[in-house]
Amino acid sequence: MQRQPLAIFQLSDTYHCLFLIALGHQFATYDENWNHVTLQNKVANYFSNFPLEPIRGLLNTGPNMLLFGDKAVYKYDKDGTKMIGDATPLKTFFRCQRQN
Domain boundaries, the chain: 5-93
- Computed on alpha carbons and rounded to an integer, the radius of gyration of the chain in Å comes to 15
Give the whole-angstrom CA distance, residue 39 versus residue 5: 16
Is it true that domain 5-93 has CATH number 3.40.109.10?
no
Does residue 79 carry a pLDDT above 80?
no
- Residue partners of 10: CB distance under 8 A and separation at least 6: 17, 18, 19
What lies within 8 Å, CB to CB, of 64 at 6+ separation is 75, 76, 77, 78, 84
Which sign, positive or negative, has the C-alpha torsion 36, 41, 44, 46?
negative
Instruction: Tell me which of 27 and 67 has the higher pLDDT.
Output: 67
> pLDDT class for 41, splitting at 50, 70, 90?
confident
Verdict on whether the full-model pTM lies above 0.75? no
Confidence band for 24, pLDDT divided at 50, 70 and 90? low
pLDDT at 74: 93
- Model pLDDT, residue 73: 94
